[in-house]
Amino acid sequence: MVKEIVRVYNDEARAGTFLIAQGFEREHRKVIELINKYRERFIRLDNNKSVLEGFIIKKVPAKTAGRPVEEYLLNEQQTIFLGTLFRNSSDLILDFKERLADDFVKLKKRLSGIEKTKQSEPYKITRIASKIIRKKTTDEMKRFVEYANSQGSGSPDRYYGNITKMMNGLLFIVEGKFKNLREVMTIHQLMTVSSAEQIIDKGLRSGMDNQVFYKDIYKDVKKRVMTFAELHGQSKVIEDCLKLEDNSHQSK
């Protein structure tokens, strides 16, 4: 059974044509040709007005596709329309259609659960607090960039993004692409990331105050976050929102 057919891309449920082609037992290039044949109809069905080229295009890595290929990311309406263009309906294809429809429903439920959570007072309070901590940490990260530059780093600016990327990778399982990862986190995840940022803030300040070489500071900060992540464990973004919502309904 194909896993994770539908994923989030910029906060929308989308399905990639590479897995769709496999599920419908078609060659991927033939599926792309079919979509391009009815290009205008597919574009009309896209509710994302920011897509200037008509389609969201994503590269499928070689380890998945055998060789790198480009696929289209389709929303639910586009996926349904594409399905109507395929005439054969073997049991395997019917199973795939059923799974595809179910995946869209489940992901939409998760996204809806996030929006409901964001309306609660506990979430709003936690989100405000997390922004304050984030601001303090990013100020320290900016200071570290200047510090690394003063010690001869050839590309100090990369540390700003690398520290955040390292932290998110250690603490969370993220499947899909989000405009702002924190906007889809649970209260508990926001608290977790704030704790990690305080660890980062302290590590950077301690290293710079003691005039430690910038590369060693980064290694030390990464080690501290890794230790915290090992003790805390990883959580899956969005998946946990659905679990929390389900538990809330069951307790009522």
pLDDT value, residue 50: 54
CA distance 154 to 240: 40
The CB density around residue 67, as the number of other CB atoms within 10 Å, is 8
85 three-state secondary structure: coil
Evaluate whether 91 touches 44 at the Cβ level (below 8 Å): no
CA distances from 195 to 8, 55, 129, 220 (A): 26, 39, 11, 16
Q: Please measure the distance between the N-terminal and C-terminal CA atoms of the chain and give it in whole angstroms.
A: 34
**According to the model, what pLDDT value does residue 216 have?**
97
In this predicted structure, what is the pLDDT of residue 7?
Answer: 87
Question: According to the model, what pLDDT value does residue 68 have?
Answer: 81
Q: Say which amino acid occupies 155.
A: S
Residue pair 185/14 in contact (Cβ under 8 Å)? The answer is no
Query: What's the CA gap between 221 and 200, in Å, rounded?
Result: 6
Evaluate whether 159 touches 149 at the Cβ level (below 8 Å).
no
- Tell how strand 172-173 and strand 235-236 pair up: parallel
**C-alpha–C-alpha distance, residues 154 and 219, integer Å:** 17
pLDDT averaged per 10 residues, the chain (length 252): 74 90 91 91 76 75 77 91 81 83 84 85 94 96 95 91 94 85 90 96 96 96 96 81 44 42
pLDDT at 239: 62
Q: What pLDDT does 245 receive?
A: 44
CA-CA distance, 103 to 93, in Å (whole number)?
15
Other CB atoms within a 10 A radius of the CB of residue 75 amount to: 20
Q: Distance between CA atoms of 181 and 184, rounded to whole angstroms?
A: 6
pLDDT at 250: 42
Residues 6+ apart with CB under 8 A from 175: 4, 7, 8, 236, 237, 238
